[in-house]
């Protein structure tokens, strides 16, 4: 799989994994409108991959930042100073739409945070299924220090991840926290010594997931998104439908057959 060259991001494919690198190290990978345009184009390409007949060539996505210092230091402050309220709304809703599309991909998306994940950078990481980080990574929502508020989903997703009380403290103080504390809060799943170890671990996790049924992974991801925030009884009803749907798949037939035959399953992916 080949991707075109973008001016603000890089995309590569190897061993079922697509790696997206935010690539504006001179501005600490700040999420400019050009980054939004480039991510939008790349997501169109990726979404097309899941609609074609080649099966599941892509089994996971990792998003990381170029350079030693940052995943992304937020929305582009230089650009924002010149925005009208209408342009700000457009910027916010376009990036929010991208985060929803990331959440709707039928494969896991891991944020590999290798430095600052601030403001919009933290919000982009929150739109991924889970976050791995380096020891030197830091997280925060400093919008209030700029007279701003989160605009890429932070007021919604941060409290979903760490609970309303911890989220309020982070959002009101604008405080930066280190990876280790972010892990204690449940924002980060695992912490690694350096960028190389971080990316290796993310790739290993995607490879582990790729050993399982792609239709089941996609269904679990979709079900978890659909039940979030719903009353338990509604969530359980959605889960039962998803469970029923699994029984229509060849993957389920193969997985259960292989178990009983004491063989490794060869999931057809449908």
- Does 251 bind ligand CO8 (CB under 6 A)? Our answer is no
A 10 A CB-CB count for 55 gives 12
Give least dist CB 147 to ligand CO8, A.
Answer: 10
- Does 139 bind ligand CO8 (CB under 6 A)? Our answer is no
Give least dist CB 87 to ligand CO8, A.
Answer: 8
Calculate the CA dihedral of residues 119, 121, 123, 129 and round it to 10 degrees. -160
Between residues 143 and 251, which has the closer beta carbon with respect to ligand CO8?
Answer: 143
Handedness of CA 201, 9, 108, 259 (dihedral sign): negative
d(C-alpha 189, C-alpha 202), whole Å: 11
Q: Which two tokens stand for residue 130?
A: 């889970």
- Does 124 bind ligand CO8 (CB under 6 A)? Our answer is no
- Which residues belong to the active site? 123, 143
Between residues 74 and 214, which has the closer beta carbon with respect to ligand CO8?
Answer: 74
Between residues 147 and 229, which has the closer beta carbon with respect to ligand CO8?
Answer: 147
Give least dist CB 80 to ligand CO8, A.
Answer: 6
SS3 269: coil
Site string for ligand CO8, 173-192 (x = CB under 6 A): --------------------
Angle at CA of residue 151, ends 235 and 195, nearest 5°: 85
d(C-alpha 149, C-alpha 12), whole Å: 33
Q: Which two tokens stand for residue 211?
A: 């050993």
Tokens 């790739």, located at residue: 203
d(C-alpha 6, C-alpha 38), whole Å: 6
Q: Which of 1, 45, 148, 252 binds ligand CO8 (CB under 6 A)?
A: 148
Between residues 68 and 208, which has the closer beta carbon with respect to ligand CO8?
Answer: 68
Q: Which of 45, 146, 209, 218 binds ligand CO8 (CB under 6 A)?
A: 146
Between residues 74 and 108, which has the closer beta carbon with respect to ligand CO8?
Answer: 74
Residue nearest to ligand CO8 (CB): 151
Site string for ligand CO8, 48-87 (x = CB under 6 A): -------------------------xxxxxx-x-------
SS3 19: strand
Q: Which of 20, 30, 111, 126 binds ligand CO8 (CB under 6 A)?
A: 30
SS3 169: helix
Rg over CA atoms, the chain: 19
Give how far the C-alpha of residue 172 lies from the chain's centroid of Cα atoms, to the nearest Å: 24
Residues at the contact surface with ligand CO8, assessed by CB under 6 A: 27-28, 30, 73-78, 80, 88, 91-92, 116, 118-120, 142-143, 146, 148, 150-152
């Amino acid at each position: 799989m080949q991707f075109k060259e973008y001016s603000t991001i890089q995309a590569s494919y190897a061993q079922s994994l697509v790696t997206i690198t935010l690539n504006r190290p001179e501005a600490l990978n700040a999420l400019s409108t050009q980054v939004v345009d480039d991510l939008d184009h790349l997501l169109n390409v990726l979404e097309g991959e899941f609609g074609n007949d080649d099966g599941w060539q892509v089994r996971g996505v990792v998003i990381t930042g170029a350079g030693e210092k940052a995943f992304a230091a937020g929305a582009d402050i230089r650009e924002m100073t010149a925005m009208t309220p209408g342009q700000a709304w457009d910027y916010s809703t376009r990036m929010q739409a991208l985060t929803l599309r990331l959440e709707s991909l039928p494969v896991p998306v891991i944020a590999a945070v290798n430095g600052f994940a601030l403001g919009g950078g933290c919000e982009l990481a929150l739109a991924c299924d889970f976050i791995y980080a380096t020891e030197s990574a830091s997280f925060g929502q400093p919008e209030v220090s700029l007279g701003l508020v989160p605009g890429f989903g932070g007021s919604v997703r941060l409290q979903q991840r760490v609970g309303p009380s911890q989220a309020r403290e982070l959002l009101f103080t604008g405080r930066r926290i280190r990876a280790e504390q972010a892990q204690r809060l449940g924002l980060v799943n695992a912490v690694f010594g350096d960028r190389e170890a971080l990316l290796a671990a993310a790739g290993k996790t995607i490879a582990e997931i790729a050993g399982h049924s792609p239709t089941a992974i996609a269904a679990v991801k979709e079900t978890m998104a659909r039940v979030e925030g719903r009353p338990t009884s509604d969530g359980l009803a959605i889960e039962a439908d998803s469970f029923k749907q699994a029984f229509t798949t060849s993957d389920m037939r193969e997985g259960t057959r292989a178990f009983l035959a004491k063989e490794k399953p060869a999931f057809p992916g449908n």
